[in-house]
Structure 1
Amino acid sequence: MSESDREARRLAWVYLSRVVEGPCAALSALIESVGVVEAARAVRECALPEVLRGPTELRRGIDRAEKDVAHIERLGGRVVTPDDAEWPAWRMLGLGQLDPAQDADAAVPLVLWVRGRRSLLEATERSIAVVGARCSTGYGNHATGEIAGELAARGWTVVSGAAFGIDGMAHRAALGVGGVTIAVLACGPDRPYPVQHDHLLAEIAEAGLVVTEYPPGTSVRKHYFLARNRLIAALADGVVVVEAGIRSGARNTVKWCRRLGRPAMAVPGPITSAASVGCHRMIREGEAFIVTRADDILDEAGPLRLSLPGAVPANPEDNLSGDEALVFAALPGAGARLPRALAADTGLPMAVLRATLSGLEIAGLVGCDGSGWYRTVSPSTSTAAIVADHDRHR
């Protein structure tokens, strides 16, 4: 691809990002079908299916892509598109597989506007989201500082939303130990929100990353926060909630986390505290695992731990058990399979299947590409037997 072609694609991504300002599953489907440059042309000329005319009508005549790119560069940032090497493709894979009919915001972001020098791909290789109440208590702040600080000290990136309360404390704890943290905004990259966190966001951009899917100049709107929450969940290996009221927005982030098949966790609080009612409810109703320290979190969200004493054996998959063994055995010896087919064969819920595939990928046993999931090691007889035994008892 020539340099001019690459620039045309980048400007097309940026233009479309401005047109829809947020997730748009129908536009993502059009881009996948005809390509981003042709999709941008279709939007400009309104040569669109009916489902896209409404979402693009208001701003399709606003084409300031070059100015937007220049603006973010003046801020010391950049726009990251799916064409770029630092695009966190495997993190976004789950968003592309969700059903937009069930979740209106279930779409991969068109671009990500990023402030900070670090690679987005590298910064999200090992990351945990820590979110919670804006009106946090002393207990919640202490618990967040202990947990987020320990995770960051161990080399994990702490992802949060830069809000007052637990979010801000999580970012500060990571910065305090010299760790990496990512703030995901529900507004443009040039609009610090809340404004009182202007200095904090500058610190985050210096040591970590400030990320948003909204183009420069975009103001905060209520529903942008709900869409933003899916990115917090997508950029992390799991979500931890520290303090949440009965109607906390953190529960929305947990919803996205569970949709993506990643572990959701909650820190319990005093039974008399209204600030922890949401956490207790999520734990009681099975929406989140109970955790009280960093070790608990890494047990749930960390790399799959294969019991491999000494050297790696010839068949590392022999150390698998339960869902991991079942899913690995269901993958073909050659070729790949899509998640829905695997779910049908194994009988596992889609959320459990995706979490299991992610764990197997981290362990180096499987991989994925455009055709689906595939094995990176050969199957052993004992693993293959697991599926046969499963089929006999279905």
Structure 2
Amino acid sequence: MSGVATDDAHARACLSAVADAGDPLMGALIDEYGAAEIWASLRAGAELPAVEAAGGQRPATPPARQERWRARAPGIDADALLSASAEMGGRLVVPGDPEWPGRLDRLGDRRPYALWLRGVQDLRNACLRSVAMVGSRAASGYGLHVAADLACGLAERSWSVVSGGAYGIDGAAHRGALAGGAPTVAILACGLDIDYPRGHEALFADIAARGTLVSEHPLGAGPTRHGFLVRNRIIAALTPGTVVVEAGLRSGALNTARHALDLCSALMAVPGPVTSALSAGCHRLLREWQAACVTDAADIAEQLGPIGEELRPGRGTALARDGLDEESQRVLDAVPDRTGAGTATIALAAGLDLDAAMGRLGLLAAGGFIERCPAGWRTRPDSGTEGR
């Protein structure tokens, strides 16, 4: 990136280290004045401008909030943040980047200022056909089995799974998706250099190798209760639907479910034993929140709309190759089998402009034909396109 885009990205990287994640006031300031201007004001110790509030009022930013941000600003350097992230294989994605998932824009003022990513999968493409799967950390054997089975079944239908990387249902969902051969996305409540929970160190390494780890926080940021709560909105916003597998009445998974309802996404719940307190939250969702009752991967795919009707059982692609339009087939033909190629190279070979090629690559990735790799894009080994 260069020019204004670089200034914006650098400012957003710094603001992610200064302001609490999901602060609607900071989100409103960025939307109205731009990240670069807000960051410059904080570094200069200047008073921040007023922003539009409900009712058309323009109240000043609370002094205590400004003072907290200004106190943190002197110790933050964008180049240091970005260099440290790059050294561990990470990258920064901001609104307007090709990898930025458009669904996050539904969050309005609570949209992330930026996202720190680590992993081989393009986040936007991984989430085009995705399901959020959440539930209790202290899950029962029943819940763990169901979560893994659902995630694996969805993966075999070329759906990716988004969850929070926690013990219990989250971990089972991630492992099930990987076992089914699909990418999985973990939204963490801390910096990507911190394995939390520590027992998931190997799982996070596996997700980075085959999926994507995501955080709103720069390296070094530890987990907090606030961080766990606000990251739930991202889990819900990245996907067209959320499944609660097993949850008690006070489970944080219900917070994710509420975000899904607020975003008008599909809300689903898995029933459990009526004697189990760990399923009481799911039963409340079914009884009072009009959640759809789902018991297998086919139920979930059906709830997520007509796209589910296109899926074929088993591994491989979600669509037949002969069902692709001419431009998509040209792009697919331009993607190498093993070495990988960049978007510009593929666009040139396919005879398309860069924007058109990026759109086709996203559709091909969602359909299971191709995957992201260190060199750019390559065909998926199980897609049936190798040696074409």
Fold shared, TM-score > 0.5 on shorter chain: yes
In 2, Cα distance between the equivalents of 1:199 and 1:305? 32
Q: Structure 2 CA distance, aligned partners of 1:297 and 1:198?
A: 29
Q: Secondary structure at the match of 1:191?
A: coil
Structure 1 residues 151, 52: CA separation in 2 closer, same or farther (over 3 Å shift)? farther
Aligned partner letter, 2:82? V
**Kept after mapping to 1: 8 A contact 2:133/2:243:** yes
- Pairing 1:161–2:164 present: yes
Q: Among 287, 293, 296, which residue is 2:296 paired with?
A: 293
Please give the alpha-carbon distance, in whole angstroms, between the structure 2 residues aligned to 1:258 and 1:4: 39
Residue in 1 aligned with 2:187?
184
Rounded to whole Å, the distance in 1 between the matches of 2:249 and 2:8 is 45
Asked if 2 retains the 8 angstrom alpha-carbon contact of 1:19 and 1:62, the reply is: no
Q: Is the 8 A contact 1:241 1:279 kept in 2?
A: yes
The answer for the alignment partner of 2:106 in structure 1 is 94
Partners of 1:237 and 1:302 within 8 A in 2: no
Alpha carbons of 1:279 and 1:118: their partners in 2 closer, same or farther (altered >3 Å)? same
Show the counterpart of 1:145. Answer: 148
- Find the aligned partners of 1:193 and 1:287 in 2 and give their Cα distance: 33
> SS at 2:91's partner residue?
strand
* 1:284 has 2:287 as partner: yes
Counterparts in 2 of 1:12 and 1:248: CA distance versus 1, 3 Å: same
| Residue identity (%) | 44
Q: Could you tell me how far apart the structure 2 residues matched to 1:248 and 1:11 are?
A: 36
Task: Please state if 1:41 is matched with 2:40.
Answer: yes
Decide whether the 8 Å contact of 1:21 with 1:215 is kept in 2. no
Match of 2:93 among 80, 83, 90: 80
Q: Does 1:128 align with 2:143?
A: no
Question: Using the alignment, how far apart are the partners of 1:191 and 1:60 within structure 2?
Answer: 22
Could you tell me which of 111, 124, 127 is aligned with 1:108?
111
Kindly indicate whether residue 60 of structure 2 is the aligned counterpart of residue 61 of structure 1. no
Q: Which amino acid aligns with 1:64?
A: D
Deviation at 1:60, TM superposition (A): 2.6
**Partner amino acid for 1:94?**
R
Runs of 5+ in structure 2 lacking a partner?
50-59, 311-362, 364-388
Count of residue correspondences:
298
Q: Is this contact kept in 2: 1:21–1:213, CA < 8 A?
A: no
Aligned to 1:20: 19
SS in 1 for 2:300: helix
- Provide the aligned C-alpha RMSD in A: 2.0
305 and 69 in structure 1: CA distance in 2 versus 1, 3 angstrom threshold? closer
Is 2:257 aligned against 1:258? no
Write the letter of the residue equivalent to 1:189: L
1:54-74 CA distance string (max 9 Å, x none): 334232333221111011111
Residue 306 of structure 1: how far off its partner (Å):
9.2
The amino acid that maps onto 1:48 is L
* Unmatched 5+ stretches in structure 1: 97-105, 308-361, 363-394
| Secondary structure of 1:261's aligned partner | coil
Identify the structure with bigger relative contact order (alpha carbons < 8 Å, sequence gap 6+): 2
What is aligned with 2:366?
Answer: none
Is the contact between residue 27 and residue 52 of structure 1 (CA under 8 Å) also seen in structure 2? no
**CA distance in structure 2 between the aligned counterparts of 1:304 and 1:78, rounded to whole angstroms:** 31
Describe the superposition over 1:267-287 as per-residue Cα deviations: whole angstroms up to 9, x where unpaired: 000111111111111111134
Task: Give 1:4 shift.
Answer: 3.9
* Alpha-carbon separation, structure 2, partners of 1:40 and 1:83: 18
Q: Is 1:7 aligned to residue 17 of structure 2?
A: no
Name the counterpart of 1:202.
205
Structure 2 counterpart of 1:70, from 83, 103, 111: 83
Q: How does 1:194-343 map to 2 (within 5 A)?
A: 194-303=197-306
Cα deviation 1:17-49 (Å, max 9, x = unaligned):
111031122222222222221121122233214
User: What secondary structure does 2:299 align onto?
Assistant: helix
Q: CA deviation at 1:167?
A: 0.4
Residue of structure 2 in register with 1:101 after alignment: none
CA distance in structure 2 between the aligned counterparts of 1:288 and 1:94, rounded to whole angstroms: 21
Equivalent-residue separation in structure 2 for 1:51 and 1:298 (angstroms): 44
Query: C-alpha separation between the residues in 1 aligned to 2:233 and 2:289?
Result: 20
Shift of 1:13: 1.1
1:306/1:190 CA distance change after superposition, 3 Å: closer
For the Cα contact (< 8 Å) 2:301–2:308, is it kept in 1?
no
